[in-house]
């Protein structure tokens, strides 16, 4: 059976005291719960160290929202995989559509980051997704295929087995307009077919594919019930402990 995962992407929210507050509520709300899903939170860089301490002895895992592909050097403002590991991160979100569209990250850059994360023993949460225009043009599958293939092009089968994919249609992010469970399932199944074609069915059956884009307590259950939807990457709704916990339990 595939891993089932609920990850929270905090984006650019929460200073240290707000972070401590949210994490304490989250941890106490999850204590003594028999969870069937793994829980990962991805706070901003500035809160990672503090939160890492708060998560010791809990089942909640820590991830970052970005990293650079070089080991170290003159890259002002960047963060390396080694730095993330040293604060206790096990995961890193890469290729988020906000990185692609606002900060101009290309498939080529993202593929280097994915490779670096894996060789550093960090698990990439590799994000892909089409824009509204692309969906309306009928090019969703072409876009998804290109993003997947470019992102994993330098990976060995052993490496690709370790990644997590997140399908996040751009038109559903922060808009309150969720993809229907059927729309999401269709793309997830397509992603699995690309993985089968490129590697094998064993690989495609193993990789967790999360859905992201306006996941809320009231729609999580229907999305998560779909065969190829193995979890969620949650934005807005992970900023409140209560709503994030109800998605985790959905």
Catalytic annotation, residues:
96, 168
Count residues binding ligand 13P (CB under 6 A): 14
**Residue 228 three-state SS:** coil
Q: In whole angstroms, what separates CA 241 from the centre of its chain?
A: 18
210 binds ligand 13P (CB under 6 A): no
CB atoms closer than 10 angstroms to residue 229: 22
Does 168 bind ligand 13P (CB under 6 A)? Our answer is: yes
Residue whose tokens read 């690309």: 194
Among 82, 136, 174, 242, contact with ligand 13P (rule: CB under 6 A): 174
Does residue 217 interact with ligand 13P by CB under 6 A? no
Distance from C-alpha of 188 to C-alpha of 12, rounded to nearest angstrom: 27
Select from 235, 241, 244, 248 the one that contacts ligand 13P (CB under 6 A): 235
**Sign of the dihedral defined by the CA atoms of residues 192, 195, 199, 204, in that order:** negative
Return all residues near 141 (Cβ < 8 A) that are at least 6 apart.
187, 190
Q: According to the binding rule CB under 6 A, does residue 9 interact with ligand 13P? A: yes
Using DSSP's 3-state secondary structure scheme, residue 209 falls into strand
Interface with ligand 13P in residues 86-115 (CB under 6 A)? 96
Residue 234 as a binder of ligand 13P (CB under 6 A): the answer is yes
In whole angstroms, how close is the CB of 112 to ligand 13P at the nearest point?
21
Stretch in the footprint of ligand 13P (CB under 6 A) among 26-34, 76-84, 109-117, 227-235: 227-235
Contact between 173 and ligand 13P per CB under 6 A: yes
Encoding tokens for residue 196? 């089968």
Question: Residue for token digits 């330098």?
Answer: 154
Asked if 46 touches ligand 13P (CB under 6 A), the answer is no
Residue 223 beta carbon to ligand 13P: minimum distance, rounded to whole angstroms: 12
Q: How far apart are CA 214 and CA 229, in angstroms?
A: 15
Candidates 43, 63, 151, 212: give the one binding ligand 13P (CB under 6 A): 212
CB atoms within 10 A of CB 214: 20
Q: Which residues bind ligand 13P (CB under 6 A)?
A: 9, 96, 168, 173-174, 212-215, 233-237
């Amino acid at each position: 059976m595939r891993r089932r995962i609920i990850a929270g992407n905090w984006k650019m929210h929460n200073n240290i005291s707000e972070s401590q507050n949210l994490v304490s509520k989250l941890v106490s709300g999850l204590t003594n719960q028999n969870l069937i899903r793994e829980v990962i939170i991805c706070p901003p860089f500035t809160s990672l160290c503090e939160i890492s301490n708060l998560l010791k002895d809990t089942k909640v895992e820590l991830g970052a929202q970005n990293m650079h592909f070089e080991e170290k050097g003159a890259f002002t403002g960047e963060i390396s995989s080694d730095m993330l590991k040293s604060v206790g991160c096990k995961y890193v979100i890469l290729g988020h559509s906000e990185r692609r569209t606002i900060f101009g990250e290309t498939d080529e850059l993202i593929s280097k980051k994915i490779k670096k994360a894996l060789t550093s023993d960090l698990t990439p949460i590799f994000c892909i997704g089409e824009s509204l225009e692309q969906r309306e043009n009928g090019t969703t599958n072409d876009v998804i295929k290109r993003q997947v293939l470019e992102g994993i092009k330098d990976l060995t089968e052993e490496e690709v087995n370790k990644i997590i994919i997140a399908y996040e249609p751009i038109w559903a992010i922060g808009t309150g307009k969720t993809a229907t469970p059927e729309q999401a399932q269709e793309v997830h199944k397509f992603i699995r077919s690309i993985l089968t074609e490129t590697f094998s069915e064993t690989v495609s059956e193993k990789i967790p594919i999360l859905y992201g884009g306006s996941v809320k307590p009231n729609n999580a259950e229907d999305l998560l019930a779909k065969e190829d939807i193995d979890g969620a990457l949650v934005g807005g709704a992970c900023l409140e402990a209560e709503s994030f916990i109800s998605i985790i339990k959905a």
